[in-house]
Amino acid sequence: GYIYGAAQTISTFPWSFKIFFALLTDALPIGGYRRRPYMCIGWFIAFVFLVAISATPLPPPYYCRDGPDGAYNLSHTCNEAAASSGMPYAFLMLMVAIGYVMADVAADALTVTYARREPAAERGRTQTTAYLTREIGMICAKLLVGVGMNGREYNGTFESGLSFNAVCAILALPAFAMVPISWYLVEEPKVGLAQDP
């Protein structure tokens, strides 16, 4: 339990530094743009480390799966070093989170810029649409994990399921797709060419 708690803390740690990512996007435009390059860089970092996780084989589990139904035998250990072998994965998840937070902060800042330009009668529509899209994506990711990882190897109820590596590979695909989407479909005026706060 404490290993899981440490890994969860490490992988959510970048959210504590949101303000620094926001200052970075404001203070250091890249190619005249404040948001799009950081969105692309962030999604690319997330993609690279999701692929790294998907290519890194998991160590054998602590308990053996030798029951008649493929369940874990809690009286027989197969890999006593399993508890101490999770930190490389926690580091990779930390790097995924850094990329995601960088992209998220830049997207939030751009959303605020768009929202400020809305007419008073439509104020709030941009932010509502952005947050609705984000929540739908998060629901899809949670369904993928909840249903896909409900196999016997995770003490689930399905006969088989997706491996942790397969889930990370699947999640790498939308992260990669967001790189060209962020660059080619996101409109952002260059610094100094329009009223950009």
Residue 71: band (very low, low, confident or very high) from pLDDT cuts 50, 70, 90: low
Question: If you average pLDDT over residues 88-113, what whole number do you get?
Answer: 91
**Whole-number average pLDDT of the chain:** 85
Question: If you average pLDDT over residues 91-113, what whole number do you get?
Answer: 92
Q: Is the pTM of this model over 0.75?
A: yes
Residue 72: band (very low, low, confident or very high) from pLDDT cuts 50, 70, 90: low
How buried is residue 120: exposed, middle or buried, by Cβ count under 10 Å (0-12/13-18/19+)? exposed
Residue 105 pLDDT > 80, yes or no? yes
Q: Which one, of 85, 106, 65, lies nearest residue 7 by Cα?
A: 85
Name the packing angle between helices 36-55 and 18-27 (round to 10°).
Answer: 130
Residue 193: band (very low, low, confident or very high) from pLDDT cuts 50, 70, 90: low
Range in 4-13, 54-63, 154-163, 175-184 with the lowest mean pLDDT: 4-13
Q: Which helix (H) or strand (E) is 81 found in, with range?
A: none
Strands 73-77 vs 63-64: parallel, antiparallel or unpaired: antiparallel
Query: What is the predicted pLDDT for the residue at 197?
Result: 44
Residue 3 pLDDT > 70, yes or no? no
Query: What is the predicted pLDDT for the residue at 187?
Result: 86
